Amino acid sequence: MDYSASFALIASELVLGIVGLFLVLLAAFGGDKFSRATSIIAAIALGGAFALVAPSVCAGASGPDTVAFGGLFRADAFAGLAKLMIFAASGATLMIAPRFFEKIGWMKPEFPILVLFATLGMSIMVSANDLMTLYLGLELNSLSAYVMAAMLRDDERSAEAGLKYFVLGALASGILLFGMSLTYGFTGTTNFGGIATAVSSGMNMGLLFGLIFILSGLAFKISAAPFHMWTPDVYEGAPTPVTMFFASAPKVAAVALLARFTMEGFGTQADAWQQVVIAAALLSIVIGALGAIGQTNVKRLLAYSSINNVGFILIGLAAATAAGVSAMMVYLAIYTVMTVGSFVAVLLMRDADGNQLEGISDLAGLATTRPAVAWALMALMFSLAGIPPLFGFWGKFVVFQAAVQADLLALAAIGIAASVIGAFYYIKIVKIMFFDDAVGTVKGEGDTPHWALLLICAIIISPLGYLAAGWLGDLADMAAASLALPV
């Protein structure tokens, strides 16, 4: 084994790990006075990791040269594209978090450190080529996430969110481990390539149960129905920057991991998992849409929106083709931008004293009191609904196109019909902002990072985003082609 080549392939992970350990020491010896410095250094580390990964994505890295540590780790273009989304979402979180925590008097260095280690775990997840690596990355991310959800110890909602996330996350990890043990027992290997070889001639009932348990554990991580029950409560109770982080980066990591595991490990037995993914996709679309209709808290509404969007993402995976994986990655990239933009808009919902507002009723008449926020949020809501000519429409179009090309006409038709239900609650937000009488509760001003992020997200999801559609599609095609798909 060439360790020098392997270490070169994990350069971005080494940067995140080394900087994370340095920041732990800095926080331990320097205390809270280094909180801002810790955030800045963590953001620089994410930028450095982004720069290290970008060349492999643009070059479409694939093949044996991307394999590290004897097949445990793959640094191919697929992992690279997912990492770029993860690093960008994590960096956005670090940009908007300081003001939120300073306002409530809880600006501490622990938060950026936890974000950095969670990002390291996600980076390992998307490059996992073995069940052992999969679990290592997933737990590193999860342990950091549990702490972030409950980090406001004096806030009952935050403590409740952390406890629910931890208990249900532990249950999901147990289910996942049981599935991994069954898979290892019936194939004799934990490597995805070895699993693909073992199942190429067929699957027995024990292995099928192992596959179902693993899919169930991963479905919890992406909050796909019927394993979504934790999402609304955790999204509402966790601090808003943490909620934004949960709704973006970990979702990309878990979806990419699910795609790699199913396509590389069980690609020759797609019939064994395709129906499970289709069922989860349809349930997520319907439950996400219906669950959002009666919500009065904007963070809970975005939680159900997240569940709904996961359903559309899974339609791409359900196609079980390279085109489906490519469409899924395109949707993920657009979804990440829409999610970050939506939560930045929520963070700009502040009263005159700078306190965070979360009620949908607080948005009434926002177009007259804060027109810039209202117009940006309207664009984001319409884009999430998939209404043309906004860029969110393109994400839905490519996944439906992949489903049709895979002869999943019924799935595409049901998905299109169900997306109409989801449009209702997005349009409801727009109606409240533009047609209801102004309540005038949203008066607080945002700072430069908030407005900069909101502007960037608004431009990307506007019709101008289509200028990058071809380039994004090419990157997604190269990422899908880099997967070691069974012949």
CA dihedral 147, 260, 13, 329 (to 10 degrees): -90
Separation CA 67–CA 54 (nearest Å): 17
Helix, strand or coil, per DSSP, at residue 350:
strand
**473 C-beta neighbours (distance < 10 Å), count:** 16
CB 224 within 8 A of CB 310: yes
**Cα gap 314→392, rounded to integer Å:** 16
Token representation of residue 261:
């595991």
How far is the C-alpha of 260 from the C-alpha of 83, rounded, in Å? 14
Residue-level pLDDT at 207: 92
Exposed, middle or buried, 487 (CB in 10 Å: 0-12/13-18/19+)? exposed
**What single letter denotes the amino acid at residue 280?**
A
Please identify which residue in the block is written with the tokens 């948005």.
363
| Among 389, 398, 402, CA closest to 467 | 389
What pairs with residue 67 in β-bridges?
74
If you search the block for the tokens 């492999």, which residue do you land on?
56
The predicted model scores a pTM of 0.94
Token representation of residue 362: 């607080």
Angstrom distance (rounded) from CA 145 to CA 234? 11
Q: And the tokens for 94?
A: 């670090």
The residues facing 297 across adjacent strands are 359
Q: Point out which residues pair with 73 in neighbouring strands.
A: 68, 128
| Amino acid, single-letter form, for residue 249 | A
Q: What token pair was written down for 268?
A: 């020759």
Per-residue confidence (pLDDT) for residue 42, from 0 to 100: 94
* pLDDT tens-place values along the chain, 487 residues long: 568 888 989 999 999 999 999 999 999 888 788 888 999 999 999 999 999 999 989 888 888 888 999 889 999 999 999 999 999 999 999 999 888 888 877 888 899 999 999 999 999 999 999 999 999 999 999 999 999 988 887 778 888 888 888 988 899 999 999 999 999 999 999 999 999 999 988 888 889 999 999 999 999 989 898 888 889 999 988 888 999 999 999 999 999 999 999 999 898 888 889 999 999 999 999 999 888 888 888 999 999 999 999 999 999 999 999 999 999 999 999 999 999 999 999 998 888 777 788 888 888 888 888 888 899 999 999 999 888 899 999 999 999 999 999 999 999 998 888 888 888 889 999 999 998 888 877 776 778 888 999 999 999 999 999 999 999 999 999 999 988 665 5
The residues spanned by each domain of the chain are 3-482
Contacts of 275 (CB under 8 A, 6+ apart): none
Angle made by CA atoms 365, 368, 373, in degrees to the nearest 5 = 85
Closest CA to 302 of 234, 387, 403: 234
**In angstroms, what CA-CA distances link 469 with 87, 400, 401, 487?**
21, 16, 15, 29
